[in-house]
Chains A and B, each alone.
Chain A
Amino acid sequence: MQLSTRTIVTAGVLIAVALVLAITGLGYFPVPNVTDSATIMHVPSIVGGVLEGPVVGLIIGIVFAIDAYIRFGGLFAGAPAYLPFVILLAPRLFIGIVAALVYRALKSKNEIVALIVAAAAGTLTNTVLVLGLAVLFWNQIPFFASVPGLTPAVFVSGAIPQAVFEIILAIVVTVAVVAAWRRLETRRGSSV
């Protein structure tokens, strides 16, 4: 398998963006939910997928995966050692792939609509896979069992507002960045 110079460099600089968003906290927006934040850490992966294809999206997803492991890995203390990798790492690798495929399928009709749907699809891939896998392995995670009254249904319904926040954030940031980069015509006139 060979990667083009463009693939290597774009993946590299967008990973750097993801690292900067993670390190400075700019990638986490304070919202009133249980983790106190909604993230745009998946947006570099979506932007990479949209601009350069699924391989770039996948490579950039690794950073969000590691960041999620560092932040939430502690909740898995007492669970089987492979579980944090399955739940926190694996879903992040698919964000850019799904966003790239959705964007490719829709861009011939309307590029802005394609960007909006790709950003939403990429974000939903992350949310659905993480929640789905957490529910699937529910009984193997001692922390979930320790929270009184926490059932899979309560857990999923509690995550819905956060998912909505993250979809809105991903759409706004992805459209703003890609439209500015490609100088697309938006309703506000020519960007940049």
Chain B
Amino acid sequence: MRDMAENFELLRNVTIGQYIPTGSVIHRLDPRAKLIALTLIIVAFTITLSPWITLALVGLVFGIARLARIPFAYLARGLLPILPFLFIIFVLQIIFRGLGDVQGRVIFEWWFLRITENSWPLATVGILRVIAFLSLASLLTLTTTTTHLTHGIESLLSPLRLIGFPAHEIALVFAIAFRFVPTLIEELDRVARAQASRLGNIGATTRWRLDKTLRARLPLIVPLFLSALRRGEELILAMEARCYVSGAGRTRFWHFTPTTLDYAVVIGAFALVAVVWWLGSRVG
């Protein structure tokens, strides 16, 4: 029964794909400015190996969440499902990077555990990056409606139309995906409760018995796929009934005009990359 309860809890910890209208300044930004800034913040994370700079960037991400009036606890909940995985990766890195670093100064040594001046920063940076990337992805959907996000992606990809890239269609694919995530989570929750009420052991996971785990999870996974495909068929019918034609020139209900703040955010994000680059070359 504990497994089942954990399963239901897990389904509630999904923050990606949700939207919380707090009316903050982050919510009001042009979606294109948000997408460009998000990409540049990710670039800033990937060009530094310093744990201190990475920690400062994580602080910046949570600062943005505060500015967006998204509760920290809510954002942190989205990280829960991946935490055990992150912990394993972190422990592996701490152990092996320490053992392999024969030249670095040893900070802590006990039995096979050896933490050196070079091992802990790399392990820490790796984990902090994952936490930041997931939080940024959640923040984007928490502060931007699916419609705005779609128009933002389409607008940014539109130059690629010159080489025949289907910018509108790809943006629509991701809009449909983001729109369906909460629906499918609800569906999964319903199926899990239905299975549990019939004494199906849906949460059973046995590390040494793949067949048992598979038998426990198939009653969730197969209905998830079938429900998605069935809803997809309904959407195809609805779109075709409204004469949707891919690639046809169409007008928009929403028009975005960048404000001074949007430009400032993009310039600030470029400046951030430059500063991280400059600091990285000094701190190492």
Contact = CB atoms under 8 A, between A and B. Distances in A.
Nearest to A71: B85
A138 interface: no
Given A12-B177, A28-B85, A181-B226, A34 B92 contact: yes
Contacts of B236: 5-6, 9-10
B10 A25 contact: yes
A11 B235 CA distance: 12
A74 B142 CA distance: 25
A25 B11 CA distance: 10
Contacts, number: 206
Interface size class of A (residues with CB under 8 A): 35 or more
A86 interface: no
Pick from A13, A17, A19, A172 the residue with the most CB of B within 10 Å: A13
Interface string B36-61: 00000000001101000000000000
Interface stretch (A95-103, A129-137, A144-152): A144-152
Interface in A53-105: 59, 63, 70-75, 77-78, 81
B201 to A, nearest CB: 15
B111 interface: no
A14 interface: yes
A85 to B, nearest CB: 10
A24 B185 contact: yes
Interface string B125-153: 11101100110000000000000000000
Contacts of B17: 19
Contact of B225 (A17, A59, A169): A17
Interface string B112-135: 000000010011011101100110
A71 B11 CA distance: 20
B178 to A, nearest CB: 8
B91 to A, nearest CB: 11
Interface string A1-40: 1111111111111111101110111101111101111101
B92 A168 contact: no
A78 B246 contact: no
Nearest to B218: A176
Contacts of A159: none
Given A8-B246, A71-B130, A13 B240 contact: no
Interface residues of B, number: 77
Nearest to A28: B85
Main secondary structure of the interface of B (DSSP, over half): helix
A180 interface: yes
A81 B46 contact: yes
Contacts of B4: none
B10 A12 contact: no
Nearest to B214: A172
B97 interface: yes
A145 B100 contact: yes
A21 B78 CA distance: 14
B113 to A, nearest CB: 14
Contacts of A145: 100
A143 to B, nearest CB: 7
A52 to B, nearest CB: 10
B176 A9 contact: yes
B133 A16 contact: no
A47 interface: yes
Given A24-B10, A70-B130, A81-B46, 15 more contacts: A2-B169, A2-B246, A3-B170, A9-B176, A12-B176, A13-B177, A13-B180, A16-B176, A16-B183, A16-B228, A19-B16, A23-B14, A31-B210, A75-B93, A145-B100
Closest 4 CB pairs of A and B: A74-B126, A146-B100, A12-B176, A16-B180
Interface of A: 1-17, 19-21, 23-26, 28-32, 34-38, 40, 44, 47, 51, 59, 63, 70-75, 77-78, 81, 142-143, 145-148, 165, 168-169, 172-173, 176-177, 180-181, 192
